[in-house]
A = this chain, B = another copy of it.
Amino acid sequence: MTAPSEEMRLRKGERTRRGILRAARAQFQQLGYSGASIRSIAAAAEIDPSMVMRYFGSKEGLFAAAVDVDLRLPDLAGRPAGERGRHLVQHFLTRWEGDPVDDVLVLLLRSAVSNEAARTRMHAVFTEQLAVRVAELGDPDGALRRAGLIATQMLGLAYCRYVLGLPGVATATADQLVADLSPTVQRYLSDPLAECPA
């Protein structure tokens, strides 16, 4: 009989690695990039600080690994035009309500205010994931602006609800928010955009 081995429960190294990443996300989220320290992250993960360096090379390497994110945006083109706004809002809220503290997009949101790498990553997520989905609906010229408008509303929601915990926003139910925000996103997806002045 061989060791429990590679397949069953992950190799110990992989478990350690994930433990570090989880602790790192929590700390980067609460304290920002420079506020979090390798020492405190290691303490939270209950391992030695030198292990962090071994696995990720540097603090920057750890951060880059921590902010990898796939939004897994649903296909909107296959949906009735009138339901797309609601569907998109619902997708974000379902994802966030599951484990907001653990969601990488919220971490990116918090980190981007003081970290260039996080800003760059956020731009990539925006253009490669959100804008691409919007562009699939036609109006390729306006896709970037439509996606931008949607981003202002959805990132603003994440910021007010999960970062600030604003009274009127954090106390609302997810269903209320879906009902209130869906018409906005629906309009950004389908209504004519303002003309650019001469």
A-side residues, CB < 8 A to B, are 30-35, 109-114, 119, 122-123, 126-127, 131, 144-149, 151-157, 159-161, 163-169, 172-173, 175-176, 179-181, 183-184, 187-188, 193-197
Among B32, B112, B165, the residue within 8 A (CB) of A35 is B32
Check A112/B164 contact, CB under 8 A, given A31-B34, A173-B197.
Answer: yes
Among B30, B147, B154, B172, the residue within 8 A (CB) of A156 is B154
Among B146, B167, B184, the residue within 8 A (CB) of A148 is B167
Q: When the two chains form their complex, are residues B119 and A110 in contact, meaning their CB atoms are under 8 A apart?
A: no
Give chain A's interface secondary structure class: helix
Among B151, B184, B193, B196, the residue within 8 A (CB) of A169 is B151
Q: Which residue of B lies closest to A157 (CB)?
A: B152
Q: When the two chains form their complex, are residues B154 and A168 in contact, meaning their CB atoms are under 8 A apart?
A: no
A176 to chain B, nearest CB (A): 5
Q: When the two chains form their complex, are residues A148 and B173 in contact, meaning their CB atoms are under 8 A apart?
A: no
